[in-house]
Amino acid sequence: MRQRRQDNIGISNLKSDELVHNSFVEMMFFICLAIFGLKMHFHGGISSLDHVEEELMVHNVSQHVSQQQRKKPHRQRYIPCEVPFIDSVNYLREPMDNNKFAHFYLGYAEREERISQNDTFEAHFGGHQTLEERDKSYHARSQTIHCGFVSGPDGFPGTGFELDEKDKKYMSTCSVAVSSCIFGSSDFLRRPTSKVISEYSKKNVCFVMFVDEQTLVKLSAEGNVPDDKGNIGLWKIVLVRNLPYEDMRKTGKVPKFLSHRLFPSSRYSIWLDSKLRLNADPMLIIEYFLWRTVSEYAISNHYSRHCVWEEVLQNKRLNKYNHTAIDEQFSFYQSDGLIKFDPSDPKILLPSFVPEGSFIIRAHTPMSNLFSCLWFNEVDRFTSRDQLSFAYTYLKLKRLNPDKQFYLHMFKDCERRAVTKLFHHRMDN
């Protein structure tokens, strides 16, 4: 392993396209793949656990062992693969804004008036998008669409996700944002691995952890108290008041999908679930997953499931959500174009129809923002299980916009494992 690290440093001064073709890296990659495949074969049958816990390795969680663990033989079932980052942020060159990515203007519905003067109207964070508006919103063209943060008419209570003005002001200055959230005290705080993060990124990237009051109280009680600037380690802690949904998982989809709204002047963002620790430099991540692949949206595939049909069964088996609601969503999707994943189809649009959405890298281009809004709206309308709506949203967007490309890069789950470290969710609640 030591050998491998040195080799990496040795090749890192090459241009990125030469890097990709480096045969040594490729060889390591295929060895890792082979091991990965083997492990899957041995452990593919476990189904009694949450998909999150299912993939988890059992090992001692300690802040100081992360470097050693990269060198020691891995005990986890799914092994990270080699991610050939460039050596240093000093070699970063942002690609020129070319005309490859679609250009159009997206506006966002901010306020809704009640349509009729009856008393049943309730203001909702996601608004009241009609099915007709929903269909229109899938067209990639200049228009105003629903994308969360919709307020009701005057006199109605706020629809939630309220932030302090000073936090909003700070967030509006970010040009690159890394964010995560913990709501309902569902997790521990995992600080990004500071020593792998460049001074450049520490200075220029915003690291924001959204929490609710309950989580903040719990973290403080455990000794994680934000400093004078509101930081815990690299994380800037941002308190969210008045959560928009009773379902915490649904609330978690607000920062997950809507980073372009929360960080309105940001050009790039990285999302990671609270179960993950960021273990690589965010700018190197952006270079590797977006710039080098000329993509505007990058997400990993699921480590074992590729078909939404399987995902539906698994969600029900693990009782992840109200079965009736899953069925309603699934049958709606089937009646509107969702097909089974067929790996033998030469025209297949994605390597998998099921994502592992715990780690997402985005350029905030119009198409990428549109996809994020559309996916969020599916979660708002149906279930919070976003693995169920990903392929539908993507396929419908492609189908309705044959003349506009959406450069989505679906990378391998083992690459996600190489740049983030996976932990158990908090168990004590």
User: Which CB atom, from 40 or from 325, has the smaller least distance to ligand NAG?
Assistant: 325
Q: Which residues contact 20 (CB under 8 A, 6 or more apart)?
A: 84, 292
User: Which CB atom, from 321 or from 392, has the smaller least distance to ligand NAG?
Assistant: 321
Residues numbered 284 to 323 that lie near ligand NAG (CB under 6 A) are 322
CB of 119 vs ligand NAG, minimal distance in Å: 8
- On whether the CB atoms of residues 251 and 244 are closer than 8 A, the answer is yes
Could you give the string, one character per residue 54-93, with x where binding to ligand NAG holds by CB under 6 A and - elsewhere? ------x-x-------------------------------
**By CB neighbour count within 10 A (0-12 exposed, 13-18 middle, 19+ buried), where does 223 fall?**
exposed
CB of 118 vs ligand NAG, minimal distance in Å: 4
Could you give the string, one character per residue 318-337, with x where binding to ligand NAG holds by CB under 6 A and - elsewhere? ----x-xx--x---------
Q: Which residues contact 307 (CB under 8 A, 6 or more apart)?
A: 340, 341, 353, 354
Taking the C-alpha atoms of residue 289 and residue 32, their distance in angstroms, rounded to an integer, is 19
Tell me the longest C-alpha to C-alpha distance in the chain: 72
User: Which CB atom, from 91 or from 332, has the smaller least distance to ligand NAG?
Assistant: 332
Taking the C-alpha atoms of residue 97 and residue 32, their distance in angstroms, rounded to an integer, is 35
CB of 284 vs ligand NAG, minimal distance in Å: 29
Amino acid 222 reads E
Q: What residues does 143 pair with on adjacent strands? A: 106
User: Which CB atom, from 58 or from 96, has the smaller least distance to ligand NAG?
Assistant: 58
Kindly tell me the sign of the dihedral angle through the C-alpha atoms of 381, 384, 387, 388. negative
Residues numbered 36 to 55 that lie near ligand NAG (CB under 6 A) are none
Kindly tell me the sign of the dihedral angle through the C-alpha atoms of 144, 145, 146, 147. negative
Residues that contact ligand NAG, how many (by CB under 6 A): 11
Task: Tell me the C-alpha to C-alpha distance, in Å, between residue 384 and each of 33, 81, 142, 375, 414.
Answer: 31, 30, 28, 11, 25
Kindly tell me the sign of the dihedral angle through the C-alpha atoms of 19, 23, 27, 33. positive
User: Which CB atom, from 265 or from 322, has the smaller least distance to ligand NAG?
Assistant: 322
User: Which CB atom, from 241 or from 317, has the smaller least distance to ligand NAG?
Assistant: 317
User: Which CB atom, from 68 or from 98, has the smaller least distance to ligand NAG?
Assistant: 68
CB of 127 vs ligand NAG, minimal distance in Å: 12
Residues numbered 104 to 163 that lie near ligand NAG (CB under 6 A) are 115-116, 118, 120-121
Comparing every residue's Cβ against ligand NAG, the nearest one is 322
Question: Coil, strand or helix: which one is 96?
Answer: coil
CB of 132 vs ligand NAG, minimal distance in Å: 14
CB of 406 vs ligand NAG, minimal distance in Å: 30
Taking the C-alpha atoms of residue 429 and residue 424, their distance in angstroms, rounded to an integer, is 13
CB of 86 vs ligand NAG, minimal distance in Å: 33
User: Which CB atom, from 358 or from 377, has the smaller least distance to ligand NAG?
Assistant: 377
Taking the C-alpha atoms of residue 395 and residue 400, their distance in angstroms, rounded to an integer, is 9
CB of 75 vs ligand NAG, minimal distance in Å: 12
Q: Which residues contact 101 (CB under 8 A, 6 or more apart)?
A: 296, 363, 365, 366, 367, 405, 407
Task: Tell me the C-alpha to C-alpha distance, in Å, between residue 187 and each of 214, 230, 273, 318.
Answer: 12, 19, 10, 20
CB of 146 vs ligand NAG, minimal distance in Å: 16
User: Which CB atom, from 267 or from 381, has the smaller least distance to ligand NAG?
Assistant: 381
Could you give the string, one character per residue 238-277, with x where binding to ligand NAG holds by CB under 6 A and - elsewhere? ----------------------------------------
User: Which CB atom, from 381 or from 425, has the smaller least distance to ligand NAG?
Assistant: 381
Taking the C-alpha atoms of residue 386 and residue 357, their distance in angstroms, rounded to an integer, is 8
CB of 295 vs ligand NAG, minimal distance in Å: 35
Task: Report if residue 427 touches ligand NAG, rule: CB under 6 A.
Answer: no
**Contact set with ligand NAG (CB under 6 A):** 60, 62, 115-116, 118, 120-121, 322, 324-325, 328
